[in-house]
Amino acid sequence: MGEEVYEKKILDRLVDLVVDGVAGLIDRVRPGWKKRREARLSELKLTLYALNRSPTGLLGLALVLFFIALAIAGPYIAPFSYDAQLIFCDTEARLAPPGKVVVVEEGSICHQVLGVEPGEYKLWLGADDQGRDLLSRLLYGARTSLVVAILVMAVGPWIGIALGLIAGYKGGVIDEVIMRIVDVFLAFPGLVLAIALSAVLPERVQAFLEANPAATSIALDLFAVKEQHVGPLARLLTVVIALWIVWWPGYARLVRGMVLSARENTYVEAARALGIPTGRILRAHILPNILGPLLVYLTLDFGAVILVAAGLSFLGLGAVPPLADWGRIIYDGSQYFPNALWLIVFPGLSIMLTVLGFNLLGDAMRDILDPKTRRRIEFKVKGR
């Protein structure tokens, strides 16, 4: 028990060091910023202290940070490109089991065409039916999953949040119109609607990318995809657009319910009596007070987006070869089950651990953002 408390104190000191350090840097650029935000910084520390006391939350955070690190660094540390077919290096590379060694000779097709440096390479996780290194494809697939999740969660939920704020605060006809539109979208099963949209949008998205080189360049860099694979990338982007359309109605209904309760609070009535504009009331008084439950919901949904995107790719509606996507890798590997189990087990574990990380972190945040929990932590900290 004593060791556990000691470790937690170390984590608390690390929190103090990081928060105070970042606040000090901002204060140098904007003098007085730290003093004006003193109460919020104290609340942030208490929240992180509470996280330090949640083993499952720390495990979830570790899994999430590990996934993000792999997604960012994956294309740079991968032994091979996502489309490198090692059958040109070694005919036995097709469906090679984990541990297979591939020899690249100088002047060979593999060296000249694929750009693989001469030497011996160990396929730690094996290779697929095209002789592509599974480890490299999983690392590129992590980038794909992260970017898809960020793009979806950066747009879709906030459409619903904005509409939910307006509907809940305004009420009346505006509320009725917005909620009936939400009901129409919720009447369709989300996955079925996403499948339908993913099937009809690829040509339009590809035409847009071909007409906008700047957008194409940004998309290629985000997903770490080669220029000749714009067509498959367009199919992947249709998943993002489809999930934007599917993901907002739930947030609109959730936020509307919270706003109906929050708008009756005294501070909102006082702001309204002072003639403060509606936009400022929503932005400065209502949204910050419903942000806690929303952050929990958003965290859990990051994992859900990764799972749904992988499911669509498994159905052939998301990423297509040669792009690397965990769901597509499982689909391709399922054709060789059970002889090539590694093609299903390793990408399946990647999806499971990533979604588990977001779920554990979201569950921990539900408790951490509870004011009663933070008060108990505050008493313990002051009692040291």
* Residue of 23, 18, 53, 51 lying closest to 39 (CA atoms): 23
For the chain, first and last CA: distance in Å? 16
Round to whole Å and give the CA distance between 26 and 29: 5
Determine phi and psi for 124, rounding to 5 degrees: -60, -35
pLDDT computed for residue 367 by the predictor: 79
pLDDT computed for residue 253 by the predictor: 93
Average pLDDT per block of 10 residues along the chain, 384 residues long: 50 86 89 85 83 88 95 93 85 87 78 75 90 94 95 94 93 92 88 83 89 92 92 91 91 92 86 86 87 88 93 87 92 89 94 95 84 65 54
Round to whole Å and give the CA distance between 381 and 209: 54
133 pairs with which residues across the strands? Answer: 127
101 pairs with which residues across the strands? Answer: 122
| Reduced 3-state DSSP string for the chain | CHHHHHHHHHHHHHHHHHHHHHHHHHHHHCCCHHHHCHHHHHHHHHHHHHHHCCHHHHHHHHHHHHHHHHHHHHHHHCCCCCCCCHHHCCHHHCCCCCCEEEEECCCCHHHHCCCCCCEEEEECCCECCCCCEHHHHHHHHHHHHHHHHHHHHHHHHHHHHHHHHHHHHHCHHHHHHHHHHHHHHHHCCHHHHHHHHHHHCHHHHHHHHHHCHHHHHHHHHHHCCCHHHHHHHHHHHHHHHHHHHHHHHHHHHHHHHHHHHHCCCHHHHHHHHCCCCHHHHHHHHHHHHHHHHHHHHHHHHHHHHHHHHHHHHHCCCCCCCCCCCHHHHHHHHHCCCCCCCHHHHHHHHHHHHHHHHHHHHHHHHHHHCCHHHHHHHHHHHHCC
- List the structure tokens of 201: 């949008």
pLDDT computed for residue 84 by the predictor: 87
pLDDT computed for residue 150 by the predictor: 95
Residue-wise pLDDT for 154-213, tens only, equals: 999 999 999 999 999 988 899 999 999 999 988 888 778 888 888 888 888 989 998 999
**HSE of 178, CA atoms in CB hemisphere, 13 A:** 26
pLDDT computed for residue 153 by the predictor: 94
Instruction: Determine if the pTM surpasses 0.85.
Output: yes
pLDDT computed for residue 374 by the predictor: 63
Given phi > 0 = left and psi -120 to 50 = alpha, else beta, which region is 94? Answer: beta
